Amino acid sequence: MASESPIGDNLARLRHARGLTQEQLAAASNVSVGVITGLEQHRKAGARWATLQRLANALGVALPSLVTPPALLAEPGDTAGGSDLVELRRALTGTDDLLGDTLVEPEETTPTEQIATSVDAAWSSYQRGEFTTVLHQLPTLIGDARRAAHAENDPDHAWRLLSYCFSAAAGIAVMRGHSDLALTAVERAAAAGRRAASPLAVAAGAIFGSWILLKQGRYDDSEALAVSAAERAEPSFTHGSRAEMATFGNLMINASCAAVRAGATERAADHLSVARAAASRHGIDGIDHWAVFGPRVVGMYAACNAAEAGDLDTAITAAERVPDAIGGQLPRTWEARYRLNVAYACSELGRGDQAVALLAQARTLAPEWIRLHPLGHTVVRDQLTRSNRPSDQLAALAAHLNVA
């Protein structure tokens, strides 16, 4: 037997906190009273992702607040991230700059080339979904890059590396449930990028900023930031570098994700069409720190956006058309996220075996990451509810995600 879904209890708690009746919430969300009642009384274990998104929007919360067990919703000061998150917070919000205590002797700094090598290694770990490893590395890296930036030797390069560290910190913080700290990291990344006179570093901060706003349920703000940053960073389609094209394309993908969450599916398709043109010009799939881009990436997001919009048949069709990666491999977390969205579509369409197989692939690709994603918990719980005798594969997934 599956444990009760947290959705019903979360929904009732959030609705009561806002003083809404079920009828008022139904009117605000365009979701029937019957669905709301069924969820709150645990007669329904779940609902379509698009339905849950409308409920979250009406309640003014991000989707994870509605679908995630309370124990997984980390808050500042709790045990999620432990002392390591405290150290990251200290690194992000140090007082040296406020106090003017930034005089650094050259012999006190780590060579910039050594910092760059460590930053590259941290980003590689990040893209593999090894967030705990990166969480351990970042406080020291931020300190080293900050001291190098305030020294006389090659400060522009050091400021750029510091900006990259702050962007990674933003990603780690939001994955741990600390979106406000993540936004602080984005602000630091943009400021350091400007000090480095690096438009790409500034744009990288905007990529993470729009993603964090998306996670907070601020879809209009997320889309506006992504589009504005893309307009500033738009490269020449004949002379733009691959890094510039990838950064621009990432921003347009983020804009499409925000638009589809807001229900603006036509605008989302327009944004993704622009990203597809950039991917065609980019020519290959690959990773450059924060920039993950290429024809396969755009194809994956066409499927993911359709699943987010509740257009499940289109999601499956789009998934069947996703091309293989050209010229390189994509991050494990990106491949896992794609499989998770397609697994959700399969689950909703009654294709349980396919859903479980895709979830198992996602777990193999990014075992730490999938524990942090609420959609994985939702799909596994749904499959447990539908199954009289769970397969060994489903039971292993349930154990991995701690879904009883």
Summarize pLDDT for 78-93 with one digit per residue, the tens: 334 445 578 899 999 8
Quick one: pLDDT band at residue 238, thresholds 50, 70, 90? confident
- For position 73, what pLDDT does the model report? 47
d(CA 46, CA 27): 20
For the chain, give every residue range classified as CATH 1.25.40.10.
77-327
- Poorest-pLDDT segment among 5-9, 63-67, 271-275: 63-67
Sign, CA torsion 65/341/367/181:
negative
Nearest residue to 191 via CA among 216, 217, 165, 173: 165
Average pLDDT (312-320) is 96
Cβ contact 17:50 at 8 Å: no
Compute how many other C-beta atoms are within 10 angstroms of the C-beta atom of residue 124: 15
6-67 falls under which CATH superfamily? lambda repressor-like DNA-binding domains (1.10.260.40)
- SS3 for 58-79 is HHCCCHHHHHCCHHHCCCCCCC
Nearest residue to 378 via CA among 101, 14, 39: 39
Cβ contact 333:127 at 8 Å: yes
For the chain, give every residue range classified as CATH 1.10.260.40.
6-67
Summarize pLDDT for 2-27 with one digit per residue, the tens: 456 678 888 988 888 888 899 999 99
77-327 falls under which CATH superfamily? Tetratricopeptide repeat domain (1.25.40.10)
Cβ contact 342:102 at 8 Å: no
Compute φ and ψ for 266, nearest 5 degrees. Answer: -65, -40
Summarize pLDDT for 108-120 with one digit per residue, the tens: 678 899 999 999 9
d(CA 361, CA 374): 17
Q: What is the share, in percent, of the chain residues with pLDDT greater than 70?
A: 89
Quick one: pLDDT band at residue 139, thresholds 50, 70, 90? very high
Q: Is 83 exposed, middle or buried (0-12, 13-18, 19+ CB in 10 A)?
A: exposed
